[in-house]
Amino acid sequence: MKDELTLAYLNLHAVLPLLEEIVEFDSESARIVRGWNYSIRFAVGGGGPAAFLQFRNGKLKVQPDKGAFPSVGFWFPSPQKLNRMFEGKGMPILWTGFWDIGVLKGFPALAKRLEYFMRPTEEMLKNKDVFEFYVKLNLYAMTAGIKAVGENDPEIKPLISKTRNGIAQFETLPNGPAAYVTLHDGKLEMGKGHTQKPNCFMSFRNSEILYQLIKGELDAYAALAKCDINLGGFLPLVDTFNAALDKVGEYLK
């Protein structure tokens, strides 16, 4: 069973930040935000999650939250209302920024580019660059999702609290995308790229292996036996993060 609050954290802190990469990769998204110098805040009522999007000079930075007053503010009275919007079934409450027509018209188009790349057609994936980009987006969503699930899901949070501090590196060989997750006293942080001193690692032989994992088509035990997936270091941390990754997959189906 999905916990609506955890799903809201996933949507705002693991899925929405993928727009950073999309604006940089996709010419259509870059066109939409060209000239934007705005900020947008998404917030869920009752102490729920919030996200702050800062557009500057064709670039986008997404943060979990920020105290500055936004150009445009969207509010959701409950996690369920936010999650319904991500399913394309609901609308937010606009509490500031009524006059920023360009953003109000442009952001829905930008959100459609997120869906476009996260749910690509088979024809799209024949393009090597799009395939590699899709894999990278999913790796970032998975690792950021470990934080969202690990700090909020009723089943995974207790596992995280009992696991020793450490850093896990996730990477796609030979030169594919990489990310890492840091655990410190029950709190988690995701970073893009490589960390200098990981305590454990999970590596994928190539992007195709990670793609099969994303699609649920990979036999994990067979992949380990064939060294398509390699694990090393402090394995209890890997095991805990694997449990979190399984949960992320359930939420994002």
- Does 214 lie in the same domain as 130? yes
In this prediction, residues 11-26 reach a mean pLDDT of 98
Full domain range(s) for residue 8: 4-118
Q: Do residues 95 and 150 both lie within one domain?
A: no
Predicted confidence at residue 225, as pLDDT, reads: 93
Instruction: Provide the whole-model pTM.
Output: 0.95
- The pLDDT value given to residue 220: 81
The residues facing 94 across adjacent strands are: 74
Residues 166 and 50 reside in one and the same domain: no
Are 10 and 128 in the same domain? no
195 and 83, same domain (yes or no): no
**118, 135, 150 - which closes a domain:** 118
Mean pLDDT estimate for the chain: 94
Average pLDDT over residues 200-214: 96
- Which residue stretches of 34-96 are H helix? 79-86
Residue 66 has pLDDT above 80, yes or no: no
AA identity, residue 4: E
Contact 252, 145 (CB under 8 A): yes
**CA pair distance 46, 43, nearest whole angstrom:** 10
Residues 161 and 203 in one domain: yes
Question: What distance in Å separates the CA atoms of residue 192 and residue 208, rounded to the nearest whole number?
Answer: 20
Residue 128 and residue 103 share a domain: no
How wide is the angle at C-alpha 123 spanned by C-alphas 209 and 19, nearest 5°?
Answer: 70
Residue closest to 63 by CA, chosen among 94, 110, 19:
19
pLDDT bucket at 63, cuts 50 / 70 / 90: very high
Q: What is the pLDDT of residue 99?
A: 80
Residue 229's pLDDT is 96
DSSP character at residue 92: P
**Residues 127, 247 within the same domain:** yes
The answer to which of 105-109, 123-127, 148-152 has the lowest mean pLDDT is 105-109
- Do 148 and 108 sit in the same domain of this protein? no
**Residue carrying the six token digits 């990670």:** 210
What are the tens digits of pLDDT across the range 83-110? 999 998 988 899 898 888 788 889 999 9
Average confidence (pLDDT) over 213-241 = 93
Worst-scoring range by mean pLDDT, 65-74, 109-118, 134-143, 147-156?
Answer: 65-74
How much is the pLDDT for 35? 92
Question: In the structure, what pLDDT confidence band is assigned to residue 42 with cuts at 50, 70 and 90?
Answer: very high
Given a cut of 90, whether residue 67 has pLDDT beyond it is no
The predicted structure's pLDDT at residue 1: 78
**62, 95, 118 — which closes off a domain?**
118
Q: How many domains does the chain have?
A: 2
Mean pLDDT across 24-32: 97
Q: What is the pLDDT of residue 68?
A: 75
* Residue 135 shares a structural domain with residue 196: yes
| Cα 118 to Cα 114: distance, rounded to the nearest angstrom | 6
For residues 239 and 134, state if they share a domain.
Answer: yes
Q: Tell me, what CATH number does 8's domain have?
A: 3.30.1050.10
Across the range 214-219, mean pLDDT stands at 90
The average pLDDT across 65-88 equals: 90
28 and 60 co-located in one domain: yes
Which of 89, 118, 147 corresponds to the end of one domain?
118
Instruction: Average the pLDDT over each of 2-6, 12-16, 215-219 and give the range with the smallest value.
Output: 215-219
Question: Looking at residues 121-133, what average pLDDT do you find?
Answer: 97
CA atoms of 232 and 149, how far apart (whole Å): 23
